[in-house]
Amino acid sequence: MNGLANWMEKYILPTAAKIGSEKHLVALRDAFISMMPATMAGAIATLLNAFMRDFPNTYMGPDNAITTFFQPVIGVNGIVWTGTLAIMAVVFSASFGYNLAKAYDVDPLSGAIVSLVSFFMGIPQSASLAMTLEGTLAKDAVKVLTDSGATVTTADGVQTLNTAGWGYFKFSQYMGASSLFTAIIFGFISVLIFAFLMKKNIIIKMPESVPPAVSKAFAAIIPGAVALYVSGTVYFLFEKFVGMPIIDWVSESIQKPLIGLSQGYGAVFIIVLLVHVLWFFGLHGTNIMGPVLQSVYGTAMVENSNAFQQGLEIPYKWVAGSFEAFVWPGGAGVTLVLLITILIFSKRADYKTVGKLGIGPGLFNINEPVMFGLPVVLNPILGIPFILAPLATATIAYFATMAGLVKPVVVNVIWVMPTMISGFLATAGDWRAIVLTAVNLVVAFVIWAPFVIAANKTQIDE
């Protein structure tokens, strides 16, 4: 164990530290974190509607008293969801532009505006309707529309009417999580150009007597305009030569395949392994892997929440919330169980002291006291179960979810939610989630206990 630890500390740790501090990835991570007020409000709205509308409708019928009584609240929840999770890509584009511009030490508000506008420019403004034309009235209606600029295509006997109009955006298709990757790509393109020109001082300079707010606004005109024209040109040329909007191509060719790969057991295993190996060396593995967890699994999480809110089929089995709910209950490494085993089996005074102090925060998934207090970090005895326990819980939770033994996670629950409650709420009230969490805690206990007992025989390093 010591040889492996020394090798990883020499060759892996420096690379991991560089990745964790890389400013573009930090900006991406912080962009998702900055959206927390919106995402949590949308999650609360989804969760409340599950208990006020979906459960009563399922078990008591559509005209039940509970849903009728809470109808005004259900309506408000729908409005909150519309302005949060339903437009996640819009909110993200502004948040990402702000954080990326901040990373380059240029005006973050201008960066947010440039990123947001760059994203909106690529949203198609068109609609299509598949229809079978019968009778004179239908043909006359189509003639009026085609005279106004609409086109009709025929395939397999079905005629599709295609029309376009300024200001028509496909809300559900382009503003939600399905467009997050496009928001990331054009956030990078536009803000990097903006920051480059700002740094090169290619700006409109105002006299010192001009108020700072006005001066900043004028300074951003040239960099912002160039960035947006470059983004607009990319959108135009891509659609001209590829034949489809880039936002559709990114969603179909990049985002969906990546999320599809994330649903495999191998991807989940690697993510859990990397998170805990990094933690073992004292690096915040969850934060370092945050860009992957949020951009891929987080996107799937929002898609699930939106589908659940609209009563549609849940598209993904494994999402970001699955890790929080089932893989590391009590904190990375399932350290809540470590604290319990210490209080039961440990004969070391230092361990028992940390156990008593850490059990309170551990109930709310805060494990820094035990990670650095025992410590678990760089501890060759405790490092083994710290990595093995979450790999075991991930395996159990993954196959239980895939087999339909527990419903997929559809609600983004705040990470400090106590363990047994978290999975229940995340699955919108599936009681089997409590059973799964309990099984994982028992398995983690079996893994942790022998190592805590073994630690009794070690000498405390004075």
Distance CA 424, CA 320 (A): 15
Q: Check residue 8 and give its pLDDT.
A: 55
DSSP 273-306: HHHHHHHHTTS-HHHHTHHHIIIIIIHHHHHHHH
Q: Report the alpha-carbon angle 24-277-440, nearest 5.
A: 115
Distance CA 267, CA 215 (A): 49
Using alpha carbons, list the distances in angstroms from residue 11 to 16, 19, 229.
9, 13, 43
Q: Check residue 64 and give its pLDDT.
A: 84
Distance CA 180, CA 88 (A): 8
Cβ burial, residue 2 (10 Å; 0-12/13-18/19+): exposed
Say which residues have a Cβ less than 8 Å from residue 67's Cβ, sequence separation at least 6. 52, 53, 56, 57, 74
Q: Report the alpha-carbon angle 379-381-383, nearest 5.
A: 60
Q: Is 86 helix (H, G, I), strand (E, B) or coil?
A: helix
Evaluate whether 123 touches 214 at the Cβ level (below 8 Å).
no
What are the residue boundaries of the structural domains of the chain, listed by start?
Answer: 2-20+264-456, 126-166
Rama region for 201: left / alpha / beta (φ>0; ψ in -120 to 50; rest)? left
Match 């409590």 to its residue by tokens: 434
Q: Report the alpha-carbon angle 153-159-161, nearest 5.
A: 65
Evaluate whether 291 touches 29 at the Cβ level (below 8 Å).
yes
Using alpha carbons, list the distances in angstroms from residue 26 to 91, 101, 169, 290.
18, 12, 31, 9
Give residue 158's identity as a one-letter amino acid code.
Answer: V
Q: Check residue 100 and give its pLDDT.
A: 95
Q: Is 159 helix (H, G, I), strand (E, B) or coil?
A: strand
Per-residue pLDDT in tens (0 to 9) along the chain, 462 residues: 455 556 555 655 566 566 667 788 888 888 888 888 888 888 788 878 888 887 787 667 777 888 888 889 988 988 998 888 888 889 999 999 999 999 999 999 999 999 999 999 988 876 555 555 555 555 666 666 566 566 666 666 566 666 655 666 777 778 887 888 899 999 999 999 999 999 998 988 888 777 887 888 888 899 999 999 999 999 999 999 988 889 889 888 888 888 888 899 999 999 999 888 888 877 777 877 777 788 888 888 888 888 888 888 899 999 988 998 999 888 888 999 999 999 998 888 888 888 888 888 888 887 877 887 788 887 878 888 999 999 999 999 999 999 999 999 998 887 778 888 888 989 988 899 999 999 999 999 999 999 888 888 765 444
Half-sphere exposure of residue 117: CA atoms within 13 angstroms, side-chain side: 18
Say which residues have a Cβ less than 8 Å from residue 298's Cβ, sequence separation at least 6. 32, 177, 319, 320
Q: What's 205's DSSP letter?
A: -
Residue 35, both tokens: 């959206």
- Alpha carbon 154 to its chain centroid, in Å, reads 40
Residue 154, both tokens: 């025929």
Model confidence, pTM: 0.73
Using alpha carbons, list the distances in angstroms from residue 35 to 42, 46, 98, 217.
11, 17, 12, 25
Say which residues have a Cβ less than 8 Å from residue 129's Cβ, sequence separation at least 6. 160, 161, 163
pLDDT tens for 256-289 read 888 888 899 999 999 999 888 888 877 777 877 7
Residue 318, both tokens: 């494994």
pLDDT tens for 195-234 read 999 999 898 888 877 788 788 888 889 999 999 999 999 9
Evaluate whether 420 touches 437 at the Cβ level (below 8 Å).
yes
Residues, the chain, total?
Answer: 462
Give residue 428's identity as a one-letter amino acid code.
Answer: A
Evaluate whether 127 touches 171 at the Cβ level (below 8 Å).
no
Residue 66, both tokens: 């509970």
